[in-house]
């Protein structure tokens, strides 16, 4: 379970924060991929899932991402300011495969988009060029939906429900959590808004308190409310602090109930913030008091450059850690 919050109205920088909520460590690694990498959409972490017709491509853009479980990309941005994030969605149903389209295993879904597109619109145009294939790691099926945003502030939510793709494309779609599907989340949020207005208030007050549980619906509504109240920042420091404050408010504390109704809820493993304007990536591990950040422009992203990586799970890491990445073999 996770939360994504886009702030595209502050007039300073387009920022997006997210939480990663999961029942175990995903072994996150901050990874920088250069241009010119040849990729196979069926191979990851030493196994093949896409059969005889995998999608193959060469990365057009460099990217800075968080990889999990040895190679799958779950969050990040590319050098042109496109951001992408995978969040859990239990009702994901990819539907029947199309043998006429090359297959892309789902753990590489957003990496393909970051490798290939400059904007949300370009990324959406790519969706018809492949078919997604489900993958399972450590017993967990990757039933996910995806949020995209770019440096212009554009936004899209992509889901596969009942075997059909649903795309919600508008810069007003700034908040995303998990169950239920996005259209139902919007309906529930509107119900809360109407409830507040029926009592004569423009926003929640002491008479109409904000939802306070850790389930996806309550987190969605709190994130929508608090992100709308953020004051105009004077500089990037204030802007990042603002989006982090809302992201932390939507986090799930350790010891929170794992079961809330039909769906499981897990504590927050880490939080990230993408600054799509200045190409900075912030990372905060829930078990560490330190905030890390990385400057994408400090890396060599040209074809032939090395893949660089950093394990953020160290109390010795704090502040700008761009210079502490080390060369690694590509995880594919």
Active site residues: 2
Contact, 208 vs 195, CB < 8 A? yes
For β-strands 56-58 and 136-137, DSSP reports them as unpaired
β-partners of residue 102 are none
As given in the structure block, the two tokens for residue 101 are 């389209």
CA distance linking residue 33 with residue 308, whole number of Å = 7
CA distance linking residue 320 with residue 131, whole number of Å = 38
Within 46-151, strands assigned E span: 47-48, 56-58, 63-68, 72-78, 83-88, 103-105, 131-133, 136-137, 140-141, 144-149
CA 275 vs. chain centroid, Å, equals 13
Cα→Cα distances 238→13, 228, 234, 246, 289, Å: 11, 15, 6, 13, 19
Contacts of 46 (CB under 8 A, 6+ apart): none
As given in the structure block, the two tokens for residue 184 are 């139902």
As given in the structure block, the two tokens for residue 305 are 């450059």
Q: Which runs of consecutive H residues, i.e. helices, occur in 97-156?
A: 109-116, 120-125
Q: Which runs of consecutive H residues, i.e. helices, occur in the chain?
A: 109-116, 120-125, 182-198, 216-228, 236-249
β-partners of residue 149 are 83, 155
CA distance linking residue 66 with residue 142, whole number of Å = 16
CA distance linking residue 163 with residue 147, whole number of Å = 19
Q: Look up tokens 């603002």; give the residue.
A: 242
């Amino acid at each position: 379970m996770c939360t994504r919050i886009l702030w595209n109205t502050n007039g300073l920088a387009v920022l997006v924060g997210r939480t990663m909520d999961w029942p175990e460590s995903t072994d996150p690694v901050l990874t920088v991929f250069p241009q010119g990498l040849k990729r196979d959409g069926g191979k990851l972490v030493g196994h093949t899932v896409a059969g005889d017709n995998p999608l193959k491509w060469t990365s057009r853009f460099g990217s800075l991402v968080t990889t999990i479980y040895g190679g799958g990309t779950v969050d990040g941005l590319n050098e042109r300011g496109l951001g992408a994030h995978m969040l859990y969605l239990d009702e994901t149903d990819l539907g029947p495969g199309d043998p006429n389209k090359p297959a892309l295993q789902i753990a590489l879904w957003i990496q393909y988009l970051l490798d290939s597109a400059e904007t949300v619109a370009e990324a959406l145009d790519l969706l018809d060029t492949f078919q997604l294939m489900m993958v399972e790691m450590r017993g967990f099926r990757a039933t996910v939906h995806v949020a995209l945003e770019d440096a212009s502030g554009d936004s899209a939510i992509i889901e596969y429900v009942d075997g059909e793709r649903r795309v919600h494309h508008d810069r007003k779609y700034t908040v995303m959590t998990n169950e239920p599907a996005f259209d139902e989340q919007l309906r529930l949020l509107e119900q809360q808004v109407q409830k507040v207005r029926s009592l004569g208030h423009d926003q929640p007050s002491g008479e109409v308190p904000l939802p306070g549980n850790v389930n996806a619906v309550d987190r969605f509504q709190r994130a929508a409310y608090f992100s709308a109240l953020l004051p105009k920042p004077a500089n990037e420091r204030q802007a990042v602090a603002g989006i982090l404050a809302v992201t932390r408010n939507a986090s799930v504390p350790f010891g929170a109930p794992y079961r809330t109704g039909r769906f499981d809820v897990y504590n927050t493993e880490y939080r990230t913030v993408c600054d799509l304007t200045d190409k900075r990536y912030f990372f905060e591990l829930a078990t560490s008091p330190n905030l890390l950040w990385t400057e994408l422009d400090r890396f060599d992203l040209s074809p032939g450059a090395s893949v660089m990586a950093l394990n953020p799970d160290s109390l010795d890491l704090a502040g700008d850690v761009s210079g502490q990445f080390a060369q690694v073999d590509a995880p594919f």
